[in-house]
Amino acid sequence: MPRIICVAGARPNFMKVKPVMDALEARGAEVVLVHTGQHYDAAMNDVFFADLGLRPPDRHLGTGSGTHAEQTARVMTAFEPLVDELRPDAVVVVGDVTSTLACALVSAKAGVPVAHVEAGLRSRDWGMPEEVNRVVTDRLSELLFAPSPDGVDNLRAEGYHDDQIHLAGNVMIDTLYANLDRALASDVLHRHGLVPGEYALATMHRPANVDDAGMLTGLLNALGQIARELPVVLPVHPRTATRLEEVGLPDGIRLVPPAGYLDFIALQASARLVLTDSGGVQEETTALGVPCLTMRDSTERPITITEGTNLLVGRDPERIVSTARKVLADPPPKRAPSLWDGHAGARVADAILAYLEAPVRLRPTDSRESIAA
């Protein structure tokens, strides 16, 4: 059976890689789980292995934090010898973090097919580091697994061939459904003194929102105004924690450490409103039917707006507050995008194994040769 490396490195990777790994192993593949070490704090890393039942990584690259170039280079130099040693038949990368791009680049140059899970998403905001990672990772990948039809449309428009593109559904939602009952049994609301349906949950960690003191202050002020009507709980990402030391915090916002997976799902499920700049949280709130305001000017996940509970509210504090009031008074209905059904990991695994089992001459045409550079 084929040997397949699955790469994870940062918080939103763990819940995406787990269903793919499980499905590959259930079909007899040998899976090597490689952790790049991009995230390493107990609250950003260890808790996800415990909560998700993810086995310890088979290999850990220990690369840690750094600038984009430092981090990319460190992951690449640590991953390249591993690929030479293990000679995998394929490498699976998920999402849009720096580790995703770095491992895809090494694999492509080593001649190992790359499967990108969460392909085709586009914010069209080139100032967002993840957008660069998305576009380049897709370009390096032979198998492109889109979570939603908009992803397929984007890939087709960029010249990728239909036989490379798979509408697989959303692996993050596989993990949500698999763990929902356990999450709902969490006592996190009790621990934070929260009443179901009577609080708002917020997260913020996009560099464009938190690295600039003026922008961060404006967004916190918006949360502070909402907190006058509804308690706001804000689990703080480490990037944001550093910045919060420089700006004042309005009354009423309850800062808590980054939440574990089960606790965070429980916090989302019982929130009256979620305010976020996270990619994954836009999707999970849609699946849970909880109203979500995305404090950004663009989203790479438009299906959460057209077929979900998400509203792109921008970053103007007054607009955030007035939209929050409207949504509290008139919440959107729960809707579920198709193929967000708990079986995306199985579809990904089936397609990867079918690809590897096909004689090389029958594999999808390599669209990379026909896409203009």
The footprint of ligand UD1 (CB under 6 A) covers 10-12, 38-41, 44, 65, 96-98, 129-130, 205, 237-239
Q: Using CA atoms, how far apart are residues 260 and 52, in angstroms rounded to an integer?
A: 10
Q: What, of ligand UD1, ligand UDP, none, does residue 340 touch, CB below 5 to 8 Å by kind?
A: none
Pick 97 or 115: Cβ nearer ligand UD1: 97
How many residues touch ligand UDP (CB under 6 A)? 15
Q: What, of ligand UD1, ligand UDP, none, does residue 129 touch, CB below 5 to 8 Å by kind?
A: ligand UD1
Provide, rounded to whole angstroms, the least separation between the CB of residue 299 and ligand UD1: 13
**Which residues 187-216 are close enough to bind ligand UDP by CB under 6 A?**
203
Among 235, 291, 302, 308, binds ligand UDP (CB under 6 A): 235
Provide, rounded to whole angstroms, the least separation between the CB of residue 10 and ligand UD1: 4
SS (H, E, C) 86-135: HCCCEEEEECCCHHHHHHHHHHHHCCCCEEEECCCCCCCCCCCHHHHHHH
**Candidates 116, 205, 237, 343; catalytic one:** 205
Which residues, including other chains, have CB under 8 Å from residue 283's CB and lie 6 or more apart?
147, 170, 172, 173, 301, 304, 308, 340
- Closest CA relative to residue 288, chosen from 120, 151, 147, 172: 172
Angle, helix 98-109 to helix 129-140, in steps of 10 degrees: 20
Provide, rounded to whole angstroms, the least separation between the CB of residue 282 and ligand UDP: 8
Provide, rounded to whole angstroms, the least separation between the CB of residue 236 and ligand UD1: 11
Among 154, 278, 285, 294, binds ligand UDP (CB under 6 A): 278
Which residues, including other chains, have CB under 8 Å from residue 65's CB and lie 6 or more apart?
38, 71
Among 5, 6, 12, 19, binds ligand UDP (CB under 6 A): 12
Annotation says 161 is catalytic: no
Contact assessment for residue 152 and residue 167, using Cβ atoms and an 8 Å cutoff: yes
Pick 65 or 365: Cβ nearer ligand UD1: 65
- Closest CA relative to residue 56, chosen from 32, 74, 76, 79: 32
Among 57, 113, 151, 258, binds ligand UDP (CB under 6 A): 258
Indicate whether 280 belongs to the interface with ligand UDP (CB under 6 A).
yes
Q: Using CA atoms, how far apart are residues 3 and 359, in angstroms rounded to an integer?
A: 17
How far lies 30's CA from each of 108, 168, 281, in Å? 20, 21, 31
Quickly tell me which residue has 């090597």 as its tokens: 32
Provide, rounded to whole angstroms, the least separation between the CB of residue 216 and ligand UDP: 16
Q: Residue type at 200?
A: A
Joined together, the tokens standing for residue 7 give 């790469």
Pick 129 or 331: Cβ nearer ligand UD1: 129
Among 138, 150, 174, 284, binds ligand UDP (CB under 6 A): 284
Pick 103 or 281: Cβ nearer ligand UDP: 281
Q: What, of ligand UD1, ligand UDP, none, does residue 261 touch, CB below 5 to 8 Å by kind?
A: ligand UDP
Provide, rounded to whole angstroms, the least separation between the CB of residue 276 and ligand UDP: 7
| Helix %, strand %, coil % of the chain (to 5) | 50, 15, 40
Q: What, of ligand UD1, ligand UDP, none, does residue 98 touch, CB below 5 to 8 Å by kind?
A: ligand UD1
Q: Residue type at 111?
A: G
Provide, rounded to whole angstroms, the least separation between the CB of residue 91 and ligand UD1: 17
Length of the chain: 373
Catalytic residues: 205
Q: Which chain residues interact with ligand UDP by CB under 6 A?
A: 11-12, 15, 203, 235, 258-259, 261, 264-265, 278-281, 284
